[in-house]
């Protein structure tokens, strides 16, 4: 595919332009055009996405626009946060080149939850979702060991891990009933709000405690 | 609304090495992708949900999201997620008096991680004990939210974060340092090695790989988060900080005592730049501020002809291309004659504004004593 700006070189990366009211427009461009737009494009609302692969190099069957699992969280083009670039990017660049020198095959595995590729994690040190830690547990262990000189968390947790949001919900329900019984409406109001928020976040059909306990 | 900004007061004592410190914990919530792996719509929805849950904890967060533009040049906000990296759904909350924490608290929702809690303080005013206390207070504050927010974590790896380098405690302490003396003697490489030896890192803030960070501004931070907890990390960093400050002070005194002629060259060049430069890049401005601060710190600037106050070294941040706003530029260049080409091309326009600001704010002459000494 030719660059959509100069129409001369092969396109290697993609730029995004947010058009008010029209959503996101994609432009496939060459390195040189991308660099120029990176320097001056911001004023015109153009963002350069750091894509590690060219659109033609995508593994077969992978559609960059959709998460493999069709998750409702959707998938948006990877764009490393600045922290990754200035503090850690260099280091991970070195790490990943060490890995490939050691004969490690570029792995095309992706996280079923968020679509993050192992290859991207190795290149950037950035995970896609909490589930990635489980899916790629073995692959990231050497990275973590290299970074930390240890493989297991030696720090402290805040509170004992709650068994589940559901349990917390039950506990809140009981506390709320207690508060209503004592006619402590201020506390009841706070607990009710907490209950509702937690219930929404769990997305469950847990019945809200009823009762008219004042405003 | 005016927020307390303790980074701006002028230093009263000589020497400005430790500029500011940021204590931060990042946390993520179980069951959703990290912010930049969500669609814009999902991120916006999740952001609202998270804010509601925070408010359910009876926290009186002030939501600054709708006024972010106005806060872009607030020194604290500049150390948080940069404007160009904020994704749709990014929200910034502020707590002036967080329970159990003796400094204001910033909470970012849907930055690089779902949540980031920061306390930012003027590092010059922090005693070693203050460091420990702030880290501990912030940790306790974040821990108290855990029952309601259900943070993503595992027994094996601790708190799970977007960056592999934060996983574990999710804690990062950053201290901004002005190291003009150590940089002058080319000692930053040694410093970096020494930091690595103490399991710390120094960000020299430049991609060229050379040891010349713009403005001699470096960031010292804990590079690891898996092995230790936040307070242990803080102690390590804080001890190392003490030795950096001693070495930087020695290096500055050495320039003055052993190389006065070199120092004269540095400040004379600065004066020339102030006189003739029409356009200045952010990095050049940082360098000029650095030279100016070094000169001020070493007492070589004439008390009779110098700015009434010392512009904070961190000012350079305000004047980078991302934060320097059009209205400020227009203000600065109100009466300046500028060719249309400069006026209509933002990078040049901002560069011209920076040069004007610098001329207005750094104008000085050299103390006669120093000149005599340097020429001897
Ligand atoms: Zn092109
Ligand atoms: Zn994932």
The pLDDT tens digits of the residues spanning B2-35 come to 344 443 333 434 447 999 999 999 999 998 999 9
Pick from A138, A147, A69, A21: which is nearest to B37 by CA?
A: A69
Cα A19 to ligand 1 centre (Å): 21
CA pair distance B195, B210, nearest whole angstrom: 17
At B31, phi and psi to the nearest 5? Answer: 85, 5
CA pair distance B149, A168, nearest whole angstrom: 11
**Is it the case that residue B162 has pLDDT exceeding 50?**
yes
**Which ligand sits closest to the CA of A27?**
1
Helix (H) or strand (E) holding A202: helix A185-202
Query: Hey, is A9 helix, strand or coil?
Result: coil
Q: For residue range B315-324, what is the model confidence (pLDDT) as tens digits?
A: 888 888 878 8
B225 → chain A, closest CA residue: A148
Cβ contact B36–A78 (<8 Å): yes
Judge whether A84 and A125 are in contact, CB under 8 Å. Answer: yes
Cβ contact B152–A130 (<8 Å): yes
Structure tokens belonging to residue A160 = 């004992």
A49 touching chain B per CB within 8 A: no
CA pair distance B322, B84, nearest whole angstrom: 8
Structure tokens belonging to residue A110 = 């992706």
Structure tokens belonging to residue B89 = 């759904």
Cβ contact A129–B167 (<8 Å): no
CB atoms within 10 A of CB B126: 18
The three-point CA angle B125-B127-B130 to 5° equals 100
Which residues of B, range 52-71, sit inside 8 Å of A by Cβ? 52-53, 55-58
Least trusted range by pLDDT, from A169-173, B182-186, B200-204: A169-173
At A29, phi and psi to the nearest 5? Answer: -135, 170
Cα A11 to ligand 2 centre (Å): 29
- Residues 6 or more apart in contact with residue B182 via CB below 8 angstroms: B188, B191, B216, B244, B247, B248, B251
Judge whether B350 and A43 are in contact, CB under 8 Å. Answer: no
Of all residues in chain B, the percent with pLDDT exceeding 70 is 94
pLDDT value, residue B368: 92
Q: For residue range B311-350, what is the model confidence (pLDDT) as tens digits?
A: 888 888 888 887 888 888 999 999 889 999 999 999 999 9
3-class SS shares of chain B: helix, strand, coil, % to 5: 50, 15, 35
Burial of residue B337, with CB atoms counted within 10 A of its CB: 0-12 exposed, 13-18 middle, 19 or more buried = exposed
Q: For residue range B72-90, what is the model confidence (pLDDT) as tens digits?
A: 878 888 889 988 899 999 9
Pick from B20, B69, B29: which is nearest to B49 by CA?
A: B29
Pick from A14, A91, A3, A95: which is nearest to A52 by CA?
A: A14
Mean pLDDT of chain A: 64
The three-point CA angle A43-A125-B139 to 5° equals 90
Q: Pick the residue of A197, A203, A204 with the most B CBs within 10 A to test the interface with B by mutation.
A: A197
CA pair distance A193, A101, nearest whole angstrom: 55
Q: Pick the residue of A144, A158, A198 with the most B CBs within 10 A to test the interface with B by mutation.
A: A158
Residues from chain A contacting residue B281 (CB–CB below 8 Å): none
A114 touching chain B per CB within 8 A: yes
- Local confidence band at A150 (pLDDT 50, 70, 90 cut-offs): confident
Q: For residue range B89-130, what is the model confidence (pLDDT) as tens digits?
A: 999 999 988 889 999 999 999 999 999 999 998 887 788 889
Cβ contact A159–B154 (<8 Å): no
3-class SS shares of chain A: helix, strand, coil, % to 5: 45, 10, 45
In this prediction the ipTM stands at: 0.81
CA pair distance B92, B105, nearest whole angstrom: 11
CA pair distance B160, B174, nearest whole angstrom: 20
At A34, phi and psi to the nearest 5? Answer: -60, -40
Q: Which residues surround ligand 2, an ion (CB under 5 A)?
A: A 111, 113-114, 116, 128-129, 131-132
CA pair distance B164, A145, nearest whole angstrom: 11
- Local confidence band at B207 (pLDDT 50, 70, 90 cut-offs): low
Structure tokens belonging to residue B262 = 């070199």
CA B103 to chain centre: 17
Cα A112 to ligand 2 centre (Å): 7
**Is it the case that residue A66 has pLDDT exceeding 90?**
no
Ramachandran category for residue A203: left, alpha or beta (phi over 0 → left; psi -120 to 50 → alpha) = left
- The whole-model pTM stands at 0.72
- Residues 6 or more apart in contact with residue B327 via CB below 8 angstroms: none
């Amino acid at each position: 595919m030719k660059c959509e700006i100069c129409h001369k070189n092969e396109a290697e990366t993609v730029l995004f332009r947010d058009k008010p009211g029209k959503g996101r427009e994609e432009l496939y461009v060459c390195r040189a055009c991308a660099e120029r737009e990176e320097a001056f494009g911001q004023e015109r609302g153009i963002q350069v996405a750091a894509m590690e692969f060219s659109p033609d190099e995508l593994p077969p069957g992978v559609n960059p626009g959709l998460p493999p699992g069709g998750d409702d969280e959707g998938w948006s083009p990877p764009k490393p946060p600045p922290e990754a670039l200035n503090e850690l990017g260099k280091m991970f660049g070195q790490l990943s080149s060490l890995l490939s020198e050691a004969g490690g095959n570029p792995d095309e595995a992706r996280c079923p939850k968020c679509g993050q590729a192992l290859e991207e994690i190795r290149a950037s040190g950035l995970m896609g979702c909490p589930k990635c830690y489980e899916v790629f547990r073995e692959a990231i262990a050497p990275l973590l060991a290299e970074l930390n000189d240890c493989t297991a968390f030696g720090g402290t947790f805040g509170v004992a891990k709650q068994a589940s949001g559901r349990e917390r919900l039950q506990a809140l329900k009981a506390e709320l009933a207690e508060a209503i019984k004592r006619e402590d409406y201020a506390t009841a109001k706070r607990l009710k709000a907490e209950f509702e928020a937690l219930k929404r976040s769990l997305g469950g059909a847990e019945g809200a405690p009823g009762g008219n306990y004042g405003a | 609304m005016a927020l307390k900004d303790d980074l701006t007061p002028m230093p009263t004592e000589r020497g400005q090495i430790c500029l500011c410190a940021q204590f931060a914990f990042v946390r993520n919530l179980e069951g959703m992708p990290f912010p930049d792996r969500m669609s814009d719509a999902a991120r916006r929805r999740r952001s609202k949900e998270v804010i509601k849950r925070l408010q359910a904890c009876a926290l009186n967060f002030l939501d600054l999201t709708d006024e972010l533009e106005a806060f872009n040049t607030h020194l604290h906000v500049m150390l948080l997620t940069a404007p160009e990296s904020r994704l749709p759904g990014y929200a910034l909350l502020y707590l002036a008096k967080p329970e159990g924490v003796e400094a204001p608290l910033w909470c970012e929702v849907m930055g690089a991680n779902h949540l980031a809690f920061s306390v930012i303080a003027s590092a010059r005013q922090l005693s070693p004990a203050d460091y420990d206390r702030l880290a501990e207070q912030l940790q306790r504050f974040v821990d108290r939210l855990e029952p309601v927010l259900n943070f993503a974590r595992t027994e094996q790896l601790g708190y799970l974060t977007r960056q592999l380098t934060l996983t574990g405690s999710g804690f990062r302490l950053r201290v901004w340092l002005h190291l003009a003396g150590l940089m002058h003697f080319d000692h930053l490489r040694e410093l970096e090695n020494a930091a690595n030896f103490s399991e710390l890192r120094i960000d020299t803030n430049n991609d060229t790989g050379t040891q010349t960070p713009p403005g001699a501004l470096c960031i010292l931070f804990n590079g690891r988060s898996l092995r230790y907890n936040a307070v242990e990390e803080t102690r390590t960093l804080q001890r190392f900080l003490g030795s950096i400050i001693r070495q930087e002070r020695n290096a500055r005194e050495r320039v003055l005592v052993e190389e006065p002629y070199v120092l004269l060259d540095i400040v004379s060049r600065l004066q020339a730049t102030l006189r003739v430069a029409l356009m200045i890049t952010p990095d050049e401005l940082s360098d000029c501020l650095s030279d100016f601060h070094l000169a001020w710190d070493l007492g070589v600037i004439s008390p009779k002809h110098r700015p009434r106050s010392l512009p904070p070294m961190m000012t350079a941040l305000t004047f980078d291309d991302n934060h320097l706003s059009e209205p400020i530029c227009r203000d600065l260049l109100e009466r300046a004659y500028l060719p249309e080409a400069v006026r209509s091309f933002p990078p040049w326009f901002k560069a011209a504004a920076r040069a004007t600001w610098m001329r207005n704010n750094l104008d000085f002459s050299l103390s006669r004593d120093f000149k005599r000494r340097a020429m001897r």
